[in-house]
Every structure is written in structure tokens, then in C-alpha cells.
């Protein structure tokens, strides 16, 4: 009744129109191409139904590897980013003198574009002259050095490490904003009751951070599942196919002229991402804390 006047539906219209017209409708129409044999050579499209999708799930080891890598990358980097981000946020909200400066420093990597990161880390990961190898040698751990981006055992971990480096500060920022919402009086009351730091963390901090955790987990999962630029710039999906993910496959299919196949892969990514995101959203938002 009264709420209708205060929360008018027409507020949604501008966003919806823009979103539909320039993003979602073209995307959905684009999906249609995945069901055709659209490629670089034919001018007349032919409907081939789910042939492309069937090819992806036909048990071809390469596609299986892509799916595996995509999931692995998304999950591992998300977990690490959230944990490190939270740790950093806790450290920096404790009233250190240089908190402001430190906050800026840790956020810096998120500012760089993938091309820049690729250049920097390709040089850092150079097996002989790079900083990482030199650094390990300097502290006497030269036995651990590898050809970081080319060795099959370290290629994927190296790429994941760069992503964690890049976005932990981003998570930290979200957590910092979330931490500020927690009423101080709760902590004061807990102190009076003699609660330990661990107890305070699990009983007060964590519940209030639900929305922030939710946001960080879901966003990073989604971006992890859709990753392309970073992997492409660091390893091009190589050596061979070792670090290939679904979105690099999209690029290579598109480059080789098989546009329909590329689009079909895009649809698969979209479906996987949506399902996972919705599931996680459901699970995490079961216990939200309302302040009002």
C-alpha cells in the first residue's frame, strides 16, 4: 500500500531497458548461433541442433581437461582469495597506524589489466633470470626452482598464484566495508563477558560478515569460471593444453573459424556458471543477519 509509493516499480525500468537492449538480448540471441554450423566460410547458416554440445561432452579428453581446469581454477583461487582477503581485512581493521597506506598497497594489484600482469609475471617466472627463481636461490631454496610456467606440474599452480595475488586485495576491500557494519557495542559487551578473540570472531564477526563472504565467494567463483585474459596472457593455455580452460577453448575455436562451436562453448560456460552461482547463493544466504 504505502510501500508502493515509496518503492515505485518504475525505478527499475532504466536499468532493465539498458541491460536488455545492449547486453542480455544480444547474448541470448547469440546463443542461437551455437545451434548452427556458423563458421568463417559459409554464408548460409544451417541448423544442427545440439551437435556442437554433443561434441563437447563426447568424452574427448581435451574438453574434459578444460572443464576440470576451469573448475579447479575457480574453486582453488576463490577459497584462497577469500581466506587471504579476510585475513588481511582483519589485520588492517585492528587500528594499525599505517592502515590506510597498507589498504591502498594491498589493493594495487587489482588495478592492473591482464596484459600488464602477463608481462610482469612472465618476467618474474623466468626459470633462470626471473625474480622468483633468484629469490629462492638467495634464501638457499634453489632446489625448489622450476620452469614455472612451462613445467606441467607448476604451470597451473603458477597461474592460480597470480590470480590470488591479483584479487586478494579486492576481497579485502569488500570485507573491510563489511566489517565496518558490525556494531562496536557487541564487542564491548563480549569483552565484559570475558570472551576470547576466537570466540568473538566466530560468534560476532563471522555472522555479520555473511553478506560479504557471500559476495566474495560468488563473484570470485563466477570470474574464476569465466577466466580467460590472465591464462591466455601467461601461458596461452599451454604448454600444449595443460592450462586450457573453457574460455580459452572459445577463443581458439573462434580463431580457427568455427564460430558456432565457440558460441556453444560459451553457452556451456554460462550454464555451468549460473548453476554453480545460484547453488552457492542459496547455500550462503540461508543465514543472513538483518540489522533492523
Partner 1 sequence: MGKMKLTMILMLSLLLLAGFSTAYASGKTEGTSAKETGTITFGASQNWIKDVDRDIAADFEKETGIKIDYQVNPDDQYTNIIKTKLNTGEAPDIFMWAAGLELRQLPLDKVLDLSSEPWVGRLKDWAKKSGMVDGKLLGLNTWSIDGWGMVYNTAIFDKYSLTPPKNYPDFLKVCDTLLKNGIIPVYEIPIDLWHTELFMDEIAADANLHSPGLYEKLNSNKAKFADVKEFEQSLTAIKEMADKGYFGPTYMSDKWTNATEALGTGKYAMFLGYTSWQVECAKDYPQSGAENWKMFPSPLGATGDVKSFGTSAGGVLQLVYKGSKNVNLVKKWLAYKTQVPVLNKFYAGRADLGNPSFPEVTKAPTAGLASMTDFVKGNFLSDGATGILFWDQMGFGSLIQGMLAGQMTPKQVLEAIDTNRAKVAKAAGTPGF
Partner 2 sequence: MKSTRVRGSILEVCVWILSLVVLVPFVLVLVNSLKDRAGANIMSLTLPSIFHWENYAIVVKEGKLVQSFCNSLLIAALSTLVSVFFSAMAAFVLSRRRSRTNKGLYYFFLLGLAAPLNMVTVIRSLQIFHLMNSYLGIILLYGALLMPFSIFLYYGFIASVPREMDESAMMDGCRGFSGFFLIVFPLLQPVTFTVCVINFMNAWNEFMIPLYVLNNSGRWPMTLAIYNFYGRRVSDWNLVFADILITIFPVLVVYIVGQKYLVSGMTAGAVKG
Binding-site partner at residue 240 among partner 1, partner 2, none, CB < 5 to 8 Å by type: partner 1
User: Among 102, 254, 281, 284, which residue interacts with partner 1 (rule: CB under 8 A)?
Assistant: 254
Nearest residue (CB) to partner 2, 137 versus 242: 137
Binding-site partner at residue 83 among partner 2, partner 1, none, CB < 5 to 8 Å by type: none
Across-strand partners of 47?
A: 36
Q: Does 30 bind partner 1 (CB under 8 A)?
A: no
Nearest distance in Å: CB 111, partner 2: 5
Nearest residue (CB) to partner 2, 59 versus 192: 192
Q: Phi-psi category of 235—alpha, beta or left, where left has phi over 0 and alpha has psi -120 to 50? A: alpha
Spatial distance between the Cα atoms of 193 and 234, rounded to a whole number of angstroms:
52
User: Among 76, 90, 137, 151, which residue interacts with partner 1 (rule: CB under 8 A)?
Assistant: 151
Binding-site partner at residue 121 among partner 2, partner 1, none, CB < 5 to 8 Å by type: partner 2
Spatial distance between the Cα atoms of 53 and 141, rounded to a whole number of angstroms:
47
Q: Does 198 bind partner 2 (CB under 8 A)?
A: no
Torsions phi, psi for 47 (to 5 deg): -75, 125
Site for partner 2 in 235-254 (CB under 8 A): 250
Binding-site partner at residue 142 among partner 1, partner 2, none, CB < 5 to 8 Å by type: none
Which element (helix H / strand E) includes 19? helix 13-19
Spatial distance between the Cα atoms of 15 and 20, rounded to a whole number of angstroms:
8
Please report the DSSP string for 194-245 in residue order. T--HHHHIIIIIHHHTHHHHHHHHHHHHHHHHT--HHHHHHHTT-STTTT--
Nearest residue (CB) to partner 1, 136 versus 281: 136
User: Among 56, 225, 227, 231, which residue interacts with partner 2 (rule: CB under 8 A)?
Assistant: 225
Instruction: Find cell 598497497 and name the residue.
Output: 105
Q: Does 39 bind partner 1 (CB under 8 A)?
A: yes
Nearest residue (CB) to partner 2, 224 versus 237: 224
163 contacts 84 by C-beta, under 8 angstroms:
no
User: Among 238, 277, 281, 284, which residue interacts with partner 1 (rule: CB under 8 A)?
Assistant: 238
Rounded to a whole number of angstroms, the distance between the first and last alpha carbons of the chain is 21
Q: Does 18 bind partner 2 (CB under 8 A)?
A: yes
Q: Does 135 bind partner 1 (CB under 8 A)?
A: no
36 three-state secondary structure: strand
* Interacting residue ranges for partner 1, rule: CB under 8 A: 37, 39-43, 115, 126-128, 147, 150-152, 232, 236-242, 252, 254-258, 261
Amino acid at each position: 500500500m504505502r510501500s508502493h509509493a515509496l518503492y515505485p516499480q518504475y525505478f527499475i525500468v532504466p536499468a532493465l531497458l539498458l541491460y536488455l537492449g545492449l547486453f542480455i538480448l544480444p547474448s541470448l540471441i547469440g546463443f542461437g548461433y551455437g545451434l548452427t554450423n556458423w563458421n568463417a566460410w559459409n554464408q548460409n547458416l544451417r541448423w544442427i541442433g545440439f551437435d556442437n554440445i554433443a561434441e563437447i561432452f563426447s568424452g574427448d579428453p581435451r574438453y574434459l581437461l578444460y572443464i576440470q581446469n576451469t573448475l579447479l581454477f575457480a574453486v582453488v583461487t576463490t577459497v584462497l582469495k577469500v581466506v587471504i582477503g579476510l585475513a588481511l581485512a582483519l589485520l588492517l581493521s585492528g587500528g594499525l597506524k599505517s592502515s590506510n597506506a597498507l589498504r591502498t598497497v594491498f589493493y594495487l594489484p587489482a588495478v592492473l589489466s591482464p596484459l600488464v600482469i602477463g608481462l610482469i609475471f612472465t618476467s618474474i617466472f623466468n626459470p633462470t633470470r626471473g625474480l622468483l627463481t633468484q629469490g629462492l636461490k638467495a634464501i638457499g631454496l634453489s632446489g625448489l626452482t622450476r620452469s614455472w610456467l612451462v613445467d606441467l606440474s607448476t604451470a597451473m599452480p603458477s597461474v592460480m598464484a597470480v590470480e590470488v595475488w591479483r584479487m586478494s586485495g579486492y576481497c579485502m576491500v569488500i570485507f573491510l566495508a563489511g566489517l565496518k557494519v558490525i556494531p562496536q557495542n557487541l564487542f564491548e559487551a563480549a569483552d565484559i563477558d570475558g570472551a576470547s578473540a576466537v570466540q568473538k570472531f566466530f560468534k560476532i564477526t563471522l555472522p555479520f560478515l555473511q553478506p560479504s563472504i557471500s559476495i566474495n565467494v560468488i563473484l570470485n567463483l563466477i570470474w574464476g569460471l569465466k577466466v580467460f585474459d590472465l591464462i591466455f596472457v601467461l601461458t596461452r593455455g599451454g604448454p600444449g593444453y595443460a592450462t586450457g580452460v573453457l574460455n580459452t577453448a572459445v577463443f581458439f575455436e573462434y580463431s580457427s573459424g568455427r564460430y558456432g562451436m565457440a558460441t556453444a562453448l560459451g553457452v556451456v560456460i554460462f550454464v555451468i556458471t549460473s548453476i554453480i552461482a545460484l547453488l552457492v547463493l542459496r547455500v550462503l544466504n540461508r543465514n543472513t543477519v538483518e540489522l533492523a
